Amino acid sequence: MVSSPRFDRFNHSRRRPLNRSNPEQALSRAIANVLAGKPVRSSGDRSRKSRRIDVGQVLESRLLLSSVTINLASWAGTNFLLEATGNSNNATWTLKDRDTNIELTSASINNSTTSVTINGYAQGDNIYITGASVFGTDGNGAVTTNLPAPLSFVGNAGVDVVTFSGDTAVTGDLSIDAETISVNSSIQIDSTTVVSLSAAATTGTQSNTGASPSISGTNAATVTVSGKVTAPAINITAATSGSVTTKSDYGLLLATNTWTDSATVTIGSAATLKSPGDITLSASRGTTYKTEARSAFNDISGGTTITIGGASATTVINAGGALSITAIDNLRAEALSPDQTYDLSTIVYPASIDAAVARNRLTGDTKIAVTSAAITQSGTSKSAVLEASRKAIVIAEAKSTSLAGAMPNGSSLSLSGTYASNILSGNVQTTLSGGSLTAQSASVSANDDAIAVVKADLSAKTTT
């Protein structure tokens, strides 16, 4: 779909004097007359006879600089195929139902198309992309035929899955924003400026309450490259974010968060990343989980991982600028068992008060694993950085119990204590096995900088 330009500049209410010898003002008059349905006289028509002309002829030069937007919400729930045809100067993106091959819509692009944007549906989308009909390479694998305009996919809420099922090369940026992104084996994607594959998953901001709320879910961002990516700059990232708070409305009960939270980048066996500029690979977790109840528990699994290569074939990463490969875990978990006050005069005896418990359990690796890969960083005054770092923050706090009033004679009360714990399990590592790493300078590190805070009041307090 091509958007029409605005014609506010031709509003004659401004009463600007017209220079009839000025070509731009002549075009302005012609456009205004056409839009008003008036006949237009050709500048070369000396007989002064009026003739009607096609609006498209007049507007052609104004439509060259255009943008294209396709909104997938019109076909919610469809498995999509976005397919390109044409040539490097004039091409067409056609959106189809992948299951039936029925065409849903199409948009023409040319060398003056400034943007092509595919907007995802709020409940999530699944789309395959191929520009194989407008793609060519030379004997060295360099792209010689590409589409004449940029391409971007913008996922909205829901889980979006984008797969490059065919070779795709664009002029300008190639940008994908979805929860799951894949480049299939033997497929090449290319851009004249930058390829950006950004897997971003978020829980949003959730606040869950109830008697004993127990919330579970998955927050996962994944990028898998099994083929080839080439561009002046390459950015491949997987990141999680959001905030989940779960709180018991009743002080004596439970609250639990059970989530799988993972950020994963995989550059598969025999895959290739090649750029004369910078290459960035990044996996990061940044979600915050909170629970509050008499017994509060965060149970978070998943991990922050970058895997490069495999045993079957050599993976190639060649950066002409800087090379950055980082796996950073910034996840935060807070469990709180708050202060509780019990009125001894209202308790039914014999009575028992459970322990105040606050627990966090985080499981999963923070790691970079490189196997049988040929990694080269050749940019002068640049470097290669491989860093795995766990910077998670976990806080468990079980506060004291207060007793108010007097307990009747002959009554019995069992009062448990307080308990708080943090469990962090999983490896923090950067490993290189087989292959090679060649760089102007290189830094390879693995750091566990997690912060764990545990606080449990040692005794109960009695208030009279």
Q: Which tens digit of pLDDT belongs to each residue from 217-253?
A: 999 999 999 999 999 999 999 999 999 999 998 766 8
Please check whether residue 154 lies inside any domain of the structure. no
Shared domain for 355 and 206, answered yes or no, is yes
* Domain end residue (candidates: 45, 61, 77): 61
| CA atoms within 13 A of residue 308's CA, in its CB half-sphere | 30
Please check whether residue 181 lies inside any domain of the structure. no
Percent of the chain with pLDDT over 70: 81
Q: How far apart are the first and last CA of the chain?
A: 75
* Domain end residue (candidates: 22, 46, 61): 61
Please check whether residue 246 lies inside any domain of the structure. yes
Q: Cα(166)–Cα(235) distance, rounded to whole angstroms?
A: 20
Please check whether residue 138 lies inside any domain of the structure. no
Highest-confidence segment of 93-97, 137-141, 346-350: 93-97
Task: Kindly tell me the burial class for residue 144, based on how many C-beta atoms sit within 10 Å of its own C-beta (0-12, 13-18, 19 or more).
Answer: exposed
DSSP H or E run through 55? helix 55-63
Residue 30: strand, helix, or coil: helix
Q: Cα(265)–Cα(327) distance, rounded to whole angstroms?
A: 9
Phi, psi of 185 (to 5 degrees): -55, 140
Structure pTM? 0.82
**CA torsion angle for 376, 381, 382, 384 (degrees, to 10)?**
60
**CA torsion angle for 80, 86, 89, 93 (degrees, to 10)?**
-20
Task: Kindly tell me the burial class for residue 66, based on how many C-beta atoms sit within 10 Å of its own C-beta (0-12, 13-18, 19 or more).
Answer: buried
Reported confidence tier of residue 44, pLDDT bands at 50, 70, 90: very low
Please check whether residue 177 lies inside any domain of the structure. no
Residues 52-81: tens digit of each pLDDT: 444 444 444 334 458 999 999 999 999 999
| CA atoms within 13 A of residue 121's CA, in its CB half-sphere | 15
Please check whether residue 51 lies inside any domain of the structure. yes
Q: What is the CA radius of gyration of the chain?
A: 31
Shared domain for 304 and 450, answered yes or no, is yes
Split into its structural domains, the chain has a count of: 2
Q: Containing domain of residue 21, as a range?
A: 8-61
Predicted pLDDT at 400: 76
Predicted pLDDT at 93: 97
Please check whether residue 105 lies inside any domain of the structure. no
Average pLDDT estimate for 352-374: 91
* Domain end residue (candidates: 61, 85, 101): 61
Please check whether residue 444 lies inside any domain of the structure. yes
Tokens found for residue 105: 């819509």
